[in-house]
Structure 1
Amino acid sequence: MAIRKKNRKKQQLEQRARKLVVHASPKSIVSEQFRTLRTNINFSVPAGDLKTILFTSASPGEGKSTVSANMAMLFAQDGQKVLLVDGDMRKPTVHYTFHLSNTQGLSNVLTRQETPETVIRETEFSPNLHVMTSGPIPPNPAELLGSETMHQFMDYISSQYELVIFDAPPVLSVTDAQILANKCDGTVFVINTGETEKDNANKAKELLDASKSRILGAVLNNFKLGKDHYYYHYYGSGE
């Protein structure tokens, strides 16, 4: 029994490490691509104009939660005080990535059961990175995200953190992402290369445009690099 528990814990740690690749494998090609994304985001808008960033996708399973978690980690490693918020109150995953309980979170704050201070957690990975899980799944996520309480919550966290990153539901599944995109300073659209249909990606972009969101760019997830990229990484890995 003890061996099974030990193996299960090891598997959980390995799964978390795979998701947080910038922490587990900081010199890998994937981590370097995340750093490139961080640089592009920093250059996309004037300094000080980007306090809240939304990560979303057209459909489920495109990797937006993994991308948002790794980007939150990178910005925290860069010295910024960062808050990662699980804005997906329908199928939340952030608590799995950071191995946190999800008994209290965003939904509790928006229903005024808790204050942000009581549900924001520190992480074991970086003193600069804090996490707010989604909390219990409510019956009316879209209404909560569009509420005055949400507006007040956005004002509060923007005053407490240098950068707030939201992991939002897919655009084509529910209206939640459009509501959040309208409230955030910028939106990053994650596309699973070879899986996302072009029509779906275009439709999702149209919906984001309709919500008057500021699209910073798109991330091509699972994109296969050429051999020259692998050679460059190998050549420079020892420096």
Structure 2
Amino acid sequence: MGHVEGSPCHYKVQEPQERYSQSSKIFRAEKSIIIYVIVMKAILINFDNCVIEVSEKSIKELEYVVFEITSVIDRERIKVLAEELFTIIRRLSYERLSLDEKEVLKIALQEFLKRMGEVYPNLDDVIEVHFTENPTRRFISDDFKGFLKAVHGKYRLYLFTTEEERFVRRILRNSEIDPNLFDRIYSMKDYEEKSFPELLKVILKENKLKPEECVLVGGDVVMDIIPAKLSGLKTVLFSRFLDGFSSSYEELEKIIEELGSTP
């Protein structure tokens, strides 16, 4: 039984070989089985929706904001709108990494008011009163730092992002993570004419990697997982917000190890 590293994982059964035994005068058919095992070499991680975290504002606090900037007075309706505002703030915090927190909050409030068909004259005052002491902030969790420590040296590590590379490096440094731990940080802004599957091909070609040697960690099925799977990569859906999926990087490390060792 042979073991070949770095080759696609499959079983190859050779044709039966007939051997004639002089003593028993019977034919004996033998089959030899060769197992090819994947050796996982690289991890590609979506920085935007897998690494970066956004601290959560109190829904109760957002209820006060909704009450102040809209004409709504019904308590139950205010609770629903506070949830909607929270969703907008969280989404924009991920999407607009190049903006500071106050700029994101202002855009979120403007979008919220536009949906409501309302106008508020001075959003800067609202931000100053309600968000200064407990601002929404971006950070990188301690368990991701532990994940990096566990996998660094075992795999090549690549980040990809929709933002400019310099903003990603700044957030990493602010979280006391050396950006040089990653073999490369790929920004979609440097490849604006390419689709995500085309960017994956670039990453593989530039780093002399085969699709079956890589696992992509993404937080979006449509944008991350499906294109990577169709490109031949192993995939892991990472989310802290969905039931039944990996929600810790300790668990993620085990999943990746299993992907690399299972025939």
Q: Normalising to structure 2: TM-score of the pair?
A: 0.32
Instruction: Indicate the structure (1 or 2) with the bigger Cα radius of gyration.
Output: 2
